[in-house]
Amino acid sequence: MSDIKIVNVPLSELVDIIKNVVGDEFQKTSKTEDRTDPYTKDEICKLFNITMPTVDGWSRSGELKRMKIKGRVYFLAKDVHELLNSKK
């Protein structure tokens, strides 16, 4: 998100800006919570805006349960959604 400086902005314009930002964030969350297929580590990083070591730490601590399929690490969608809701 870009920095916004409010200087002599009419109230109606400010309200529109806020509605757009909130609406965009709501759509991202809604799409995420409808998902049922497992997440990759890379997707977790992008979703939470974190680094791979943080994902590994959450996995080691039990905060986010991982599963391996053919040597690759995945995370169940329901576990990701629960963690996402707890981090809000």
- 36-88 pLDDT tens trace: 899 999 999 999 999 999 999 999 999 999 999 999 999 999 999 999 888 76
pLDDT of residue 8: 81
5 in any annotated domain: no
- Confirm whether pTM is higher than 0.95: no
Q: Are 67 and 74 in contact, with CB atoms under 8 Å apart? A: yes
78 in any annotated domain: yes
| Confidence band, pLDDT 50/70/90 cuts, at residue 7 | confident
Domain holding 33, by residue range, is: 11-86
Q: How far apart are the first and last CA of the chain?
A: 17
Task: State how many domains the chain has.
Answer: 1
Alpha-carbon gap, residue 3 to 20, rounded angstroms: 15
Alpha-carbon gap, residue 48 to 56, rounded angstroms: 13
4 in any annotated domain: no
73 in any annotated domain: yes
